[in-house]
Amino acid sequence: MRILNTESWTLAKRESATGYLFVVPWLIGFILLTLGPMLASLYFSFTEYNVISAPKWIGLNNYTRLFQDPLFWQSLKVTLYFAALSLPSGLILSFMLAVLLNQDVPGVRIWRTIYFLPSILSSVSVTLLWVILFNPQIGVVNQLLERIGIKGPGWLADPNWALPSLVIMGLWGIGQNMIIYLAGLQSVPRDLYDAAKVDGAASWQRFRFITIPMMSPVIFYNLVLGLIATFSYFAQAYIASGAVNSEVGGPVRSTLFYNLYLYQNAFRYNEMGYASAMAWVLFIIILLLTALVFRSSSLWVYYEGELRAKS
């Protein structure tokens, strides 16, 4: 017995059905493991839920409480400060590195490998390594600074330096962005540069008026992903502050990232409802910022194909 008579289907219909059949496993995974928990967390965000007892509906209380919670604002401040430092520095440095490693110099492949390697290492081991490097007394960083007559700060143990330390730590892993930039740089048509040279454009002008516009979609891509990653920052801060200060988000809450505070609420204070509300507020913040970046893209992102279509 045939369950489905597909003989009468058009080719397009059959192809669609085949396509859906291939994505079914992913769809099932998405519904069960992503969408389901998301919807559950949305429901929990309107409840008082400590995991052990059944959730109790409390309406918008978690959301109103959130805006009166000084630690919510502190964690948001830390996250925004971190984003303001790490996002531009990461984007600019990785771009500069990609431009350098796009030059035709001997051993360039080895350099590319060296710079890319840290980005594929486990963030846990890299963080632990940096914890040792940043050690105020025996760390290599301070020892090097001492050789040039500078008394290094306490880095991760100093409330004023802990966050910049995490930014510096993050710069070590810019290889991922660098590789994407590198791929973009290599797809910029050579004839544009040749034509510019014929027109007498200096190297800075070629960079400013060819490389940057042609790379703007790649910059945009890295910016969006970087923005989301920055607001989801967790593991490194959790490990570094726990290992150095025995106080998650320490010293004195200087690295209390939004996600760390969310985690504290969920798994230390057992307030899953409150933590779920935090998660949804974070989702909305990221959504708004991403939308803002998308909106601004028409002003500074150059799509060659788009212009051709318009003309």
Partner 1 sequence: MKHKLRWVLLCCLVLLIAAPVAAQEKVKVTIFVGLGTGTDPDQIPKQEALAEKFNASHDSIEIEFLIVPVEESRTRLLAMLAGGNAPQLVGPNGISTIAQFFDSWADITPFLEAEQFDTTDFYAPSLELNSYPEMNTGLPLGLFPSFVLYNIDMFDASGVDYPPSDYADTSWTMDELRNRAMLLTLDANGYDATMPEFDAENIVQWGFSDAWSDMRGVLTRWGAPGIGRPTSDDFKTATANSEEWIYGLQWFSDGMWVDHFIPNGEQQTGIESTGAAPLDSGQIAMFYTHTWYLGEALNDLPFEVGIAPAPFNQKGERIARIHADNFTIPETATNKEEAWEVMKWLTSPEQIVDVCLIYGCVPARASVADDFRAALQERFPDLDLNVAFEAINYLDAPNHESWVPEWGRVNDTLNYAYGLIASGENTDAKAVLDETNASLQQILDEYWAKQP
Using CB under 8 A as the criterion, which residues of the chain lie in contact with partner 1 when the complex forms?
A: 48, 50-53, 131-132, 135-139, 154, 156-159, 244-245, 247, 250-253, 264, 267-270
Least separation in angstroms between CB 28 and partner 1: 20
Q: Which helix (H) or strand (E) holds 148?
A: none
In the bound state with partner 1, the residue whose beta carbon lies nearer, of 23 and 124, is 124
Give helix 272-300 / helix 36-44 axis angle, nearest 10°: 120
Residue number with CB closer to partner 1 (179 or 239): 239
Nearer to partner 1, 5 or 53 (CB): 53
Comparison of 184 and 249: residue with beta carbon closer to partner 1: 249
What one-character DSSP code corresponds to residue 56?
E
Report the nearest approach of partner 1 to the CB of residue 31 (Å): 19
- Minimal distance in Å, beta carbon 248 to partner 1? 8
Q: How far is the CB of 238 from partner 1 (least distance, A)?
A: 9
E strand spans, 55-177: 56-57
Residue pair 78/257 in contact (Cβ under 8 Å)? The answer is: yes
Burial 41-70 (b: 16+ CB within 10 A, else e): beebbbbbbeeeeebeebeeebeeebeeee
By beta-carbon proximity to partner 1, the closer residue of 173 and 251 is 251
Angle between helices 123-133 and 235-245 (to 10 degrees): 40
C-beta of 152: minimal distance to partner 1 in Å? 11
Integer Cα distance of 196 and 203 in angstroms: 9
Tell me if 137 sits within 8 A of 152, measured CB to CB.
Answer: no
